[in-house]
């Protein structure tokens, strides 16, 4: 169960990371649209698990690998944004959120 502080920090990171992916780190995305679907922060606030939805799906792995390779740069930019609100910027762990793909597959199977 997440505490109120964890949820608040997760929402802050989700908002700022989403904004960063739209404006500041577009060169990493190679023309894809990346949205941050969820951010879960550990109890000690040292690790943030970030779930990304990447569209279109044909370059998903390539874009995801590019984001993971540049996570230190992303963390640095995030620190510049939220440095006044957080004492320590958490380590970033990225995951692909494939829930939309799963819903699409279920919908397609139900239509058959």
Of residues 77 and 56, the one with the higher pLDDT is 77
Span 4-111: which CATH code?
3.30.300.20
The rounded radius of gyration (Å) of the Cα atoms in the chain is: 15
pLDDT grade for 8, boundaries at 50, 70 and 90: very high
pLDDT at 105: 81
Task: Count helices and strands (H / E) in the chain.
Answer: 5, 3
Instruction: Give the mean pLDDT of 72-97.
Output: 93
pLDDT at 29: 86
Instruction: Give the mean pLDDT of 83-93.
Output: 92
The one-character DSSP state at 46 is: -
Q: Is the pLDDT of residue 9 over 80?
A: yes
Q: Sheet containing 47-55: give its strands across.
A: 33-41, 47-55, 91-96
pLDDT at 1: 67
pLDDT at 77: 94
Q: Give 19-68 pLDDT, tens digit per residue.
A: 999 998 888 888 889 999 999 999 999 999 999 998 887 888 899 999 99
pTM of the model: 0.86
């Amino acid at each position: 169960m997440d505490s109120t502080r964890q949820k608040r920090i997760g929402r802050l990171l989700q908002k700022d990371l989403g904004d960063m992916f739209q404006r500041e780190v577009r060169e990493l995305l190679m023309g894809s649209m990346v949205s941050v679907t969820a951010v879960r922060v550990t109890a000690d606030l040292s690790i943030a698990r970030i779930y990304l939805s990447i569209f279109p799906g044909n370059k998903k792995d390539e874009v995801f690998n590019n984001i993971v390779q540049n996570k230190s740069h992303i963390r640095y930019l995030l620190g510049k944004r939220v440095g006044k609100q957080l004492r320590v910027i958490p380590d970033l762990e990225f995951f692909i959120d494939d829930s939309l793909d799963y819903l699409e597959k279920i919908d397609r199977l139900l239509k058959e």
